[in-house]
Amino acid sequence: MTTSREDIIGALKTVYDPEIPVDIWELGLVYSIEIKKNEVVITMTFTSPTCPLMEEILAQVKNTVSSVAHGMPVRVELVWDPPWNVSMMSDAARVELDLTEMGW
């Protein structure tokens, strides 16, 4: 059985930063999903390098994606370049956070 990008995105949409009522996919924190021959690699960032729950969220991403990866190892790479900004959020996230009036 193969792991699909859609399954991974669905799993990522269940992971939330407890301080923000929007999932990490809609926030634009996930920069890439690579389904390789022998592993799944998620490249992501955070809104701030001082996020107090960073380690817990990274572990949750790994565990959640592992649940749909059909036994493939999952690696989560944390990057800070490019830095996250509000323009990376989906329109749905901007509506949820009431940022639509700010022109983003």
What pLDDT score was predicted for residue 81?
96
- Which residue type sits at 36? K
| 74 or 86: which leads in pLDDT | 74
The model's pTM is 0.90
CA-to-CA distance for 80 and 69, rounded, in angstroms?
Answer: 25
Among residues 26, 23, 50, 39, the alpha carbon closest in space to that of 76 is found at 39
Among 17-21, 77-81, 83-87, the range with the most confident prediction by mean pLDDT is 77-81
What pLDDT score was predicted for residue 55?
96
One CATH from 3.40.47.10, 3.40.50.12370, 3.40.50.460, 3.30.300.130 for 5-97: 3.30.300.130
What pLDDT score was predicted for residue 104?
46
- Which residue type sits at 92? A
Domain assignments of the chain as residue spans, ordered by start:
5-97
Over residues 5-16, the pLDDT tens digits come to: 999 999 999 999
